[in-house]
Chains A and B, each alone.
Chain A
Amino acid sequence: IQMTQSPSSLSASVGDSVTMSCRASQSIGDNLSWYQHRPGEPPKLLIYSASNLHTGVPSRFSGSGSGTDFTLTISSLQPVDFATYYCQRTYSTPRTFGQGTKVEIK
């Protein structure tokens, strides 16, 4: 099963709302996680089971979708949110990651 993210990068300003997509080549139900990865830091779990906010993650992050199409939305971008975001299927193995969406400052 392949995981395809789009766009590969996007430019946005602080306060903007942004949405990014992740598509699975076969249905994975709601077995999807989203991670934020900032340079020099380990990845950070944001969303699990497609739409559940992980403990301590700000409510401006939200996830939706099931089956093959998923989205991650950041409702009001903050300076700390400029990073690369990865989806990962969490059903069966290999637990493939998408190729990432880089959120850059406009």
Chain B
Amino acid sequence: EVQLVQSGAEVKQPGESLRISCQGSQYNFINYFITWVRQVPGKGLEWMGWIDPSDSYINYGPSFQGHVTLSVDKSISTAYLQWSSLKASDTAIYYCARTNYYDSGKRTDYWGQGTLVTVSS
């Protein structure tokens, strides 16, 4: 079965850096985009952006451009979401998901379990 397994919860202080991961398995990793979605506590879902593992093409959502970095290591079927300097407002659950960009339905069909990032002094 297709799986996306995310790294564990993190507690960080403001100003610290962080990289969280999302490893895909049981499918051809380079054939699907990896989408990242944020959910701030008590709020809705926000589309952060996506990366094409085949060529590392990236598209960031307007609210996230310049604040996070997406990357991928296709040799280990793993995508990353990275911050260089965390803020308290980055406290959220972050989900990765698989998106079939070339499918007519453009489905985002499998999701990771989510990574809770808490930023607090």
Which residues of A are interface residues toward B (Cβ below 8 A)?
31, 33, 35, 37, 42-45, 48-49, 52, 54, 84, 86, 88, 90-91, 93-100
Instruction: Judge whether A45 and B95 touch: CB under 8 Å.
Output: no
A38 to B35, CA, bound (A): 19
A49 to B104, CA, bound (A): 8
With A42-B112, A93-B59 known as contacts, the answer to whether A31 contacts B106 (CB < 8 A) is yes
Q: Is the CB of B45 within 8 A of A86?
A: yes
What CA separation (Å) do A100 and B44 show in the bound complex? 6
- Distance of A7 from chain B, by nearest CB (Å): 14
Q: Is the CB of A54 within 8 A of B47?
A: no
- Closest Cβ of chain B to A59, distance in Å, is 18
Whether A94 pairs with B37 at a CB distance below 8 angstroms is no
Are B114 and A37 interface neighbours, CB within 8 A?
no
The answer on a CB contact under 8 Å between A97 and B62 is: no
Residues of B within 8 A of A (CB): 35, 37, 44-47, 49-50, 59, 61-62, 95, 97, 104-109, 111-114
Q: Which residue of B49, B97, B108, B112 has the most chain A CB atoms within 10 A of its CB atom? A: B108
Which residue of chain B is the closest to A102 with respect to CB atoms? B44
A–B complex contacts, Cβ < 8 Å, 13 sampled: A37-B45, A42-B114, A45-B108, A49-B106, A54-B107, A54-B109, A88-B47, A93-B47, A93-B59, A94-B61, A95-B47, A96-B47, A97-B47
Q: A42-B114, A43-B95 are in contact. Are A97 and B44 (CB under 8 A)?
A: yes
Contacts of A99 in B (CB 8 A): 44
Partner of B111, one of A33, A43, A95: A43
